[in-house]
């Protein structure tokens, strides 16, 4: 995808940019209005976690009177259902499973954007020329996104009317809010956005969990424990989640499976009566099973693929603590009160930390973080020492703190 974005994206951005500039000039000559956004589209295709982190920014846009829309890859659409901030009929999708479906859905979106009279678009992506082209070509009068200015980095043409400085020293949620400020600004800033964003502005809303769904997930867990001959009663013994995998997009984020297995053994020694569910997607069942078998702990069960994406909040409201690599579940759990411990290596919690009740762990090596907007999240590293430096004892200590807090809040 990166190769296509570079090989095809660069010439397309160079070719289309002059036409976008000419179109803007013609619109201004004929008196096209530049009012505050009424129908605002967010574009974030590939990162499911970002669909959660952007929620405070979307709610700010709604509070300013805009109807919000969202464009996302079809495979990631479910992430928008956790908080339901965007109305289902306002979600556009692109199927990237084949070149044909990608082209078809792209053309369909460009038509739909005009049919819905989208007047402002915010490109949340840092690394994509494809989204820059969608931003420029969707017909919106205001087009907001990140621009490299005098820095070195990803050139994406001149598709934007409101160019925002990406700040690598503040959390990405605050960077997203700076885009919303630019979208509603009544004057040009060079660069956007010259505002202070308080920590209180990036709190995540909580999901509304259907009691029937919660009960169904609990019944599933109960049946699994009964089959494994494990005594379990919710609320009377520690209920822990272990998420050992991470996205294939950046495998360097993974703590070693053998480390997770050792952690499970340590958790069982700490809390002999605990229930440990090892989570993952259906495709990760074998990976999770390997972790479980290596641990050899009877009360640790393979739970990969046992809940749908929509059921995750229900699972998270049942559990006491979760440990996970820096991946989607760390962000998905933030819509509940679940206490989490998140392991960071190639990226930093200062930028991408969960906005929930989370404790991050990072080795803070001199080479870390090694991925950023400046290198398109690519790293030459094939030896993730930053993850191997995190010890089982460190993780157990933070999980103990989180479990104690969960008991106090119960």
- Residue 98 sits in a domain whose CATH number is 3.40.50.2000
Are 145 and 32 in a shared domain? yes
Residues 132 and 215 in one domain: no
- Angle of helix 55-63 relative to helix 172-184, nearest 10 degrees, comes to 20
Residue/partner pairs of 267-272 with CB below 8 Å, 24 or more apart = 267/240, 267/242, 267/297, 267/396, 267/399, 268/297, 268/299, 268/300, 270/396, 270/400, 271/237, 271/238, 271/240, 271/403
The pair of three-digit structure tokens given for residue 408, joined into one six-digit string: 């106090």
Q: Are residues 82 and 58 in the same domain?
A: yes
156 with 276, same domain: the answer is: no
pTM summary value: 0.92
Do both 166 and 23 map to the same domain?
yes
Same domain, 145 and 224: no
* Domain-terminating residue out of 155, 177, 202: 202
Same domain, yes or no: 175 and 43: yes
State which of 179, 202, 225 marks the end of a domain. Answer: 202
Cis peptide before 21 (omega within 30 of 0): no
One domain for residues 259 and 145: no
147: containing domain: 2-202
Residue range 88-98: average pLDDT? 95
Q: Are residues 273 and 352 in the same domain?
A: yes
Query: Are 160 and 114 members of one domain?
Result: yes
Q: Give how many domains the chain has, as a whole number.
A: 2
Compute the CA torsion angle 55, 59, 60, 63 (nearest 10 deg): 180
pLDDT at 247 over 90: no
224 in the same domain as 172: no
Radius of gyration (Cα) for the chain, nearest Å?
Answer: 22
Work out the burial of residue 331: count CB atoms within 10 Å of its CB; fewer than 13 is exposed, 13-18 middle, 19 or more buried: buried
Task: Calculate the CA dihedral of residues 175, 178, 180, 182 and round it to 10 degrees.
Answer: -140
Say how many CA atoms lie within 13 Å of 221 toward its Cβ: 27
Residues 6+ apart with CB under 8 A from 287: 244, 245, 257, 280, 304
pLDDT in tens, 167-222: 989 999 999 999 999 999 989 899 999 999 999 999 999 999 999 999 999 999 99
The percentage of the chain sitting over the pLDDT mark of 70, rounded to a whole number, equals 97
Position 46 scores a pLDDT of: 85
Q: How confident is the model at residue 117 (pLDDT cuts 50, 70, 90)?
A: very high
Whether residue 95 is found in the same domain as residue 236: no
Q: Which two tokens stand for residue 272?
A: 């002999």
| Number of separate helices (H) and strands (E) present in the chain | 15, 12
- What letter does residue 192 receive in the DSSP assignment? B
Query: Got the DSSP string for 193-262?
Result: ------GGGGPPPPP---HHHHHHHHHHHHHHHHHTT----TTTS-EEEEE----GGGGGGPPPHHHHHH
Query: What DSSP assignment string belongs to 329-360?
Result: HHHHGGGS--EEEEEESSS-HHHH--SSEEEE
CB contact set of 227 (below 8 Å; sequence gap of 6+): none
| Backbone dihedral region for residue 149 (phi beyond 0: left; psi -120 to 50: alpha; all else: beta) | left
Lowest mean pLDDT across 191-195, 252-256, 378-382: 378-382
Q: Domain boundary residue among 182, 202, 222?
A: 202
pLDDT confidence of residue 31: 65
């Amino acid at each position: 995808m990166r190769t296509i974005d570079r090989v095809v994206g660069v010439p397309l951005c160079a070719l289309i940019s002059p036409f976008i500039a000419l179109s803007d000039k013609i619109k201004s000559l004929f008196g096209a209005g530049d009012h505050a956004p009424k129908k605002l589209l967010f574009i974030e295709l590939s990162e499911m976690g970002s669909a959660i982190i952007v929620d405070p920014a979307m709610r700010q846009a709604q509070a300013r009177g805009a109807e919000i829309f969202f464009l996302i890859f079809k495979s990631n659409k479910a992430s928008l259902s956790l908080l339901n901030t965007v109305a289902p009929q306002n979600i556009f999708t692109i199927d990237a499973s084949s070149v044909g479906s990608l082209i078809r859905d792209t053309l369909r979106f460009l038509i739909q954007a005009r049919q819905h009279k989208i007047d402002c678009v915010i490109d949340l992506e840092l690394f994509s020329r494809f989204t820059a082209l969608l931003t420029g070509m969707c017909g919106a009068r205001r087009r907001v996104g990140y621009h490299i200015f005098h820095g070195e980095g990803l050139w994406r043409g001149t598709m934007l009317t409101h160019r925002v400085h990406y700040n690598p020293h503040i959390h990405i949620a605050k960077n997203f809010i700076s885009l919303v400020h630019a979208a509603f600004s009544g004057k040009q800033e060079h660069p956007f956005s010259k505002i202070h964003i308080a920590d209180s502005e990036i709190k995540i809303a909580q999901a509304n969990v259907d009691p029937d769904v919660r009960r169904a997930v609990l019944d599933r867990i109960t049946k699994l424990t009964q089959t494994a001959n494990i005594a379990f009663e919710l609320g009377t013994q520690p209920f822990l989640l272990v998420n050992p995998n991470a996205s294939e997009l950046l495998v360097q984020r993974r703590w070693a499976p053998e480390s997770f297995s050792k952690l499970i053994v340590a958790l069982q020694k700490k809390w002999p009566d605990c229930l440990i569910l090892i989570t993952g997607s259906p495709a990760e069942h074998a990976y999770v099973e390997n972790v479980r078998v290596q641990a050899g702990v009877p009360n640790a069960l393979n739970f990969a693929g046992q809940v749908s994406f929509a059921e995750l909040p229900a699972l998270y409201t049942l559990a006491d603590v979760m440990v996970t690599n820096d991946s989607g579940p760390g962000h998905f759990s933030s819509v509940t009160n679940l206490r989490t411990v998140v392991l960071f290596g190639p990226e930093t919690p200062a930028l991408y930390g969960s906005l929930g009740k989370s404790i991050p762990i990072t080795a803070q090596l001199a080479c870390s973080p090694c991925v950023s907007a400046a290198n398109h999240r690519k790293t030459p590293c094939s030896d993730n020492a930053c993850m191997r430096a995190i010890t089982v004892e460190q993780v157990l200590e933070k999980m103990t703190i989180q479990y104690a807090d969960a008991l106090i809040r119960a």
